[in-house]
Amino acid sequence: MKFRSILFFLFCVIVGLLISIQSRIITGTFLYVSPKVIQDYDASIKSEKTEIEKLKTLISEKEEKIKEYEAISGKGDDIVASMQQELDRLKLMSGYKDVQGEGALIILDDGTRELYEYEDPNDIIVHDIDLLMILNDLKIAGVEAISINGQRVINNTEVNCSGHSVRINNQFFAQPFIIKAVGDPVIIESALSAPGTYGELLREYGLILDIYKSINIRIPKYSEAVDYKFLKTIEEGEV
């Protein structure tokens, strides 16, 4: 009996300890966190990590540029060539240069089928959101340059449905919309015609969406002058 009670006493001590440890962890240190918050954190962390990767490539490129400059300093012609190259790259990126290359020509037009009884004619008409979605799908497909009816798509290109016509880069166009894109033709085709894509949806509604792959697509540059009224660059040291 004596042995038994010693054992019992030890047991009680252990349980007591465990409970007190447990309660210390629980009191004030447990927190209800909703799955959404965790997801948000995850997303932010992922996002910042991608950003950091990009910045690192940017830094190594800039460092190379400085090395290049230091190697050619004093020789006027070389630095001109190097700067010209940089300028061409910026123009290419922003759409201020004619480009050509592999790609696809896409024709988007209103449907020609008969409407069902009481069907809304809007179902078979091309809208601005259709064009926007197609443009976005092309960009996701990694396309490097796009034009609609000869208008280069740049960062502030608008596609505005205004009644019977559509305004793109401040110029008016009507159907059909001829979209040219420079990029991988196979990816472009699948981005617009694979099951579940927006292009496929448009076809199901009866709109016309034709894709012609091409080995040489030529896209004109953005032809209007830029005149920023509000924009100012921030120089180093400014906040």
Partner 1 sequence: MKITSGQIVIGILALIIGLSISIQIGALDGDVIEGGLVPIQKAQSLAQELQKIRNEKEILVEEVTSLEAKIKEIEEAESKDDILLQSLISELDKYKMISGMKEVKGPGIIITIDDPPAEDVNYSDVSVIMYNYELLLSLLNKLNDAGAEAISINGQRIVAITEISLAGSNVNINSVPTAPPFEIKAIGNPETLDSTLNIRFGIIDKMRNRYSLQVKIQKSDEVVIPRYNEIVKFRYAVPVE
Choose between 54 and 113: whose C-beta lies nearer to partner 1.
54
Choose between 122 and 233: whose C-beta lies nearer to partner 1.
233
Residue 21 contacts by C-beta under 8 Å, 6 or more apart in sequence? Answer: none
Q: How many CB atoms lie within 10 A of CB 180?
A: 22
Choose between 55 and 115: whose C-beta lies nearer to partner 1.
55
Q: How many CB atoms lie within 10 A of CB 221?
A: 16
Smallest separation (angstroms) from partner 1 to the CB of 117: 27
Choose between 85 and 115: whose C-beta lies nearer to partner 1.
85
Which of 100, 226, 95 lies closest to 170, judged by CA? 226
Choose between 112 and 155: whose C-beta lies nearer to partner 1.
155
Q: How many CB atoms lie within 10 A of CB 131?
A: 20
Angle formed by the axes of helices 185-193 and 198-205, nearest 10°: 50
Q: What's the rounded Cα separation, in Å, for the pair 200 and 205? A: 9
Smallest separation (angstroms) from partner 1 to the CB of 207: 16
Smallest separation (angstroms) from partner 1 to the CB of 128: 7
Smallest separation (angstroms) from partner 1 to the CB of 200: 16
Reported as half-sphere exposure (CB side, CA atoms, 13 A), residue 36 has a value of 0
Smallest separation (angstroms) from partner 1 to the CB of 102: 5
